[in-house]
Amino acid sequence: MKFLTLIFRLIVSFTFIFSGFVKLVDPLGSSYKFQEYFSADVLNLEFLIPYALPFSIFLIMAELMLGVMLLLGYLPKFTVWSLFFMILIFLFLTWYSAYFDKVLDCGCFGDAVKLSPWETFYKNVALLFFILLLLFTTKYIRPLIHLTFVKWTTFLSFIAFLYISYYVLVHLPIIDFRPYAIGKNIPDGMKAIGAELPPIHDFYLESSEGLNVTDEVLKEDKMMLIIAHNIDNSDRQGFSKIKNVTDKALKFGYKVYLLSASLEDDFIDIKDEFDLNFDMLFCDETTLKTIIRANPGIVMLNKGIVTGKWNWVDAEEVFDK
């Protein structure tokens, strides 16, 4: 029984650590998923949407820390019971998503592993089974090493995870699993493989005159895109740095556009305020949030290949080579 407990302990702990880590490197992605769950069409808890990011960080930290604590054997009763209640919540949400066809991707493994709603539900059923067995065999869960070492490892893990969360929110995800990661070819990503949707299926750029300029943008070898998915919610101070870096880009022969889902009047306001020397193209807001986790952010393209991505905080690094 001790050996069986160890096997289930390792399966559960590594699953939660992996699930937490792939979301830790991109907490904004998880917050967007919470916004989807809180929306009127799903759980109808729209008053919670402003708190989506804190919810995201809390969930990520809980997954990671409970996974680490189970692996190390620290506070086994508290850990296993916490995992039990957490998996019950996950089980309900994934069943609800699958049965009512509400959320097509729960985001349980971030953008690293895509599962269908029913696949996610059955995965959680299996985890519930393992956790229930651990509840009845908690007495066999002992610290892997000395208790003092386990305590310090748990504490230092918590500090490290908090720092990573802070870093990626200020800058950009340290690992990018999305089809717009540096080195990815957007035109190739738009090609269908068989009957499945291509990885990139909603990249469509439209000028203020209503013209489709997607191909034109993707053919340029020196293209800088400023991404501001929602201008009203963007970091206003960021446009001062955007002004500096885009002026340099224009001087170096780049074409520059701002991509946004906002109204053109919103763009005209910031264009006049910050004396911006480029025009705006319209794009779907969800697509822009997928391209870069910054508002505003900077993306460099060479014939459709992503060659660089920066949060506005790091704008001075774009040409600092």
Backbone angles phi, psi at 190, to 5 degrees: -90, -5
How far, in Å, CA of 249 to CA of 45, rounded?
43
Positive or negative: CA dihedral 116, 120, 121, 125: positive
Angle between helices 147-170 and 2-24 (to 10 degrees): 20
Task: Fill in the amino acid letter for 277.
Answer: N
Q: For the purposes of burial, counting CB atoms within 10 Å of the CB of 265, is it exposed (0-12), middle (13-18) or buried (19 or more)?
A: exposed
How far, in Å, CA of 73 to CA of 140, rounded?
10
Q: Supply the pTM of this predicted model.
A: 0.88
The highest-level CATH class for domain 186-317 is: alpha beta
Q: Domain boundaries in the chain?
A: 2-170, 186-317
3-state secondary structure 209-251: CCCECHHHHHHCCCEEEEECCCHHHCCCCHHHHHHHHHHHHHH
Structure tokens at 94: 């994934």
Structure tokens at 283: 């794009």
Per-residue pLDDT of the chain (321 residues; tens, 9 = 90+): 787 888 999 999 999 999 999 999 999 988 988 888 888 788 888 888 899 999 999 999 999 999 999 999 999 999 999 999 999 998 988 888 888 777 666 667 666 677 777 888 899 999 999 999 999 998 888 887 888 899 999 999 999 999 999 999 999 999 999 999 999 999 999 987 777 788 898 999 999 899 999 999 999 999 999 999 999 999 888 999 999 999 999 999 999 999 999 999 999 999 999 999 999 999 999 999 999 999 999 999 999 999 999 999 999 999 875
Give bridge partners of residue 279 from the DSSP assignment.
257
How far, in Å, CA of 134 to CA of 113, rounded?
26
Query: Residue 97: what pLDDT?
Result: 81
Structure tokens at 225: 């895109």
How far, in Å, CA of 7 to CA of 1, rounded?
10
